[in-house]
Amino acid sequence: MIGLLFAGCSDKKAPQKEVSLKLDEEKSEWFKEAKFGMFIHWGLYSILEGSYNGHTMPDTSFANGNSWYAEWIKPRLEVPDDVYNALANQFNPVNYDPESWVREAKNAGMKYLVITSKHHDGFALWDSEVSDFDIMNTPYGKDLIAPLVEACKKYGLKYGFYYSHWQDWEDPDGALPRWCEWRDDEAFERYWQRKSLPQVRELIEKFDPDLLWFDTWDWKTHITPERRDELIRLVRTYSDKCLINGRICYENPGDNIDFLEMHDNSYPKEMLSKPWQTPATMQNSWAYHGKDFNWKPASRMLRYLVNNTSMGGNYLLNVGPKADGTLPAPAVRRLREMGAWLDVNGEAVFGSEPSGLTMPEGVYSTRKVTPEGKNLYIFLTRPMTSVTVPAVLSGECKVVETGQPVEMTVEGEKTVISLPENLFKDDSIIVLKCRS
Ligand code: GLC
């Protein structure tokens, strides 16, 4: 019997030869073209919705309670280990309908999805053979990742997993927040070999993800360049397509990662050397927080998307589902508004490239060659009477949504586009399409 069990395990794909740590650049082409993705923070913390024992995050009566991030509730509001881990006995997302999530993402214009397969609390949303702290030991008792992957395949979205490779607050040897005990290297190595690396391998073997999203954000972590490379090697060994983000090693991501990850909610004003994305929240929190009413308007989030598109980067916008598996209504409304705008104006985003032109404040641009010719798209995010473009535009220029023509005059090396007042009747971004 035991022999048979082992025979079963050894069936897994074994590394044949030394792999290259670098993936061909063309494998990240889809990512560069995707522009817009959905981030999902979901786990045991979703049950608490940012509040515990009469306290709500942020709460400065706790030494480290000053944060909105509801997925951090355990260490920040000092929830005891046993109380927190026992949330597994309550987790029962009976209204989970992964196809409805994927449909919302797709209708919003998103091309990929990244879910927290395991956040810092150490809890795995899939059926993990490596750890019992997983979805199988909940009243729900069914893998949450497998049906989501199926839904992504059905609707043609790429998919990836956030995996907390460094912090793990449940494992006796996993890294803890910086104000807690520092795990010595020997202890961390045990966690690394026993849980972190095997779970990453498991995620790849079971689900074949398009990307892995690792998370370090401190100068001092246990993820040395050696461990970083060990993890990259593992990913490359078991997948020939899986992209890896720069947060795998904050101190030094090295040359072998596939895309750079910006700080949370941070928007660069320049082009970067590698593909990149901004992970961004809709509320202040990532995980659902029932008392965080700081929902960003869809118009502002579209500006971030357009800013990033014009700089060659992606926008990974988060939703925090509730513990029962439903998406919060404010998130759904915003996704639909963004999708409606992209339905009309998406030609300026998808398939486009940065124009390389320096535009006035509040104006962004992309370019795209179509069978009709060369197009410059200009995004106007605030009312203005005219916009001066540092290029000679000789073809026609019109508003994408309505087809309304706009006048332009070439002045030397520049073109001045006159904007009618009736363009700015609401706060949505106006897109102009100009032939050059
Ligand atoms: C930070 C937070 C983490 C969140 C991540 C998303 O690293 O600590 O909770 O998942 O940002 O970008």
Q: Is 184 inside any structural domain?
A: yes
Q: Is 6 inside any structural domain?
A: no
Please check whether residues 118 and 158 belong to one and the same domain: yes
- Any atom of ligand 1 within 6 Å of the Cβ of 69: yes
Please tell me the predicted confidence (pLDDT) of residue 11: 45
Q: Give residue-wise pLDDT tens across range 223-243.
A: 999 999 999 999 999 999 999
- Any atom of ligand 1 within 6 Å of the Cβ of 178: no
Mean residue pLDDT of the chain comes to 95
Residue 290 has pLDDT above 80, yes or no: yes
Please check whether residues 305 and 362 belong to one and the same domain: no
Residue 149 has pLDDT above 70, yes or no: yes
Please check whether residues 223 and 74 belong to one and the same domain: yes
User: Which of 348, 382, 402 represents a domain boundary (last residue)?
Assistant: 348
Q: Is 309 inside any structural domain?
A: yes
Please check whether residues 29 and 81 belong to one and the same domain: yes
Q: In ligand 1, which atom is closest to the CA atom of 69? A: 9
Please check whether residues 134 and 279 belong to one and the same domain: yes
Q: Is 422 inside any structural domain?
A: yes
Q: What is the pTM of this model?
A: 0.95
Please check whether residues 108 and 213 belong to one and the same domain: yes
User: Which of 314, 348, 382 represents a domain boundary (last residue)?
Assistant: 348
Beta strands in 169-237 (DSSP E): 211-213
Q: What average pLDDT does range 164-174 have in this prediction? A: 98
What's the pLDDT band for 8 if we cut at 50, 70, 90?
very low
Number of domains making up the chain: 2
- Any atom of ligand 1 within 6 Å of the Cβ of 202: no
Q: Is 301 inside any structural domain?
A: yes
Please check whether residues 360 and 249 belong to one and the same domain: no
Q: What is the CATH number of the domain that holds 330?
A: 3.20.20.80
Residue 74 has pLDDT above 70, yes or no: yes
- Any atom of ligand 1 within 6 Å of the Cβ of 209: no
**Residue 34 CB partners (closer than 8 Å, separation 6+):** 111, 112, 158, 314
Q: Give residue-wise pLDDT tens across range 133-148.
A: 999 999 999 999 999 9
Please tell me the predicted confidence (pLDDT) of residue 9: 38
- Spatial separation of the C-alpha atoms in residues 15 and 151, rounded to whole Å: 30
Q: What is the CATH number of the domain that holds 375?
A: 2.60.40.1180
What's the pLDDT band for 4 if we cut at 50, 70, 90?
very low
What's the pLDDT band for 1 if we cut at 50, 70, 90?
very low
Q: How much helix, strand and coil, in percent to the nearest 5, is found in the chain?
A: 30, 20, 50
What's the pLDDT band for 16 if we cut at 50, 70, 90?
low
User: Which of 348, 375, 391 represents a domain boundary (last residue)?
Assistant: 348
Q: In ligand 1, which atom is closest to the CA atom of 318? A: 6
Q: What average pLDDT does range 315-340 have in this prediction? A: 98
Residue 42 has pLDDT above 90, yes or no: yes
Please check whether residues 391 and 330 belong to one and the same domain: no
Please check whether residues 359 and 343 belong to one and the same domain: no
Q: Is 14 inside any structural domain?
A: no
Please check whether residues 143 and 242 belong to one and the same domain: yes
The contacts found for 367-373 with CB under 8 angstroms, 24 or more apart, are 372/435, 373/435, 373/436
Structural domain boundaries, residue 103: 21-348
> Does 58 sit behind a cis peptide bond, omega within 30 degrees of 0 on the bond before it?
yes
**373-380/386-389 β-pairing:** unpaired
Beta bridge partners of 389: 415
Q: Is 280 helix (H, G, I), strand (E, B) or coil?
A: strand
Nearest CA to ligand 1 atom 9: 71
Q: Give residue-wise pLDDT tens across range 83-99.
A: 999 999 999 999 999 99
Please check whether residues 125 and 215 belong to one and the same domain: yes
Q: Is 194 inside any structural domain?
A: yes
Q: Give residue-wise pLDDT tens across range 189-222.
A: 999 999 999 999 999 999 999 999 999 999 899 9
Please check whether residues 361 and 331 belong to one and the same domain: no
Could you say which DSSP state residue 77 is in? T
Q: Is 15 inside any structural domain?
A: no
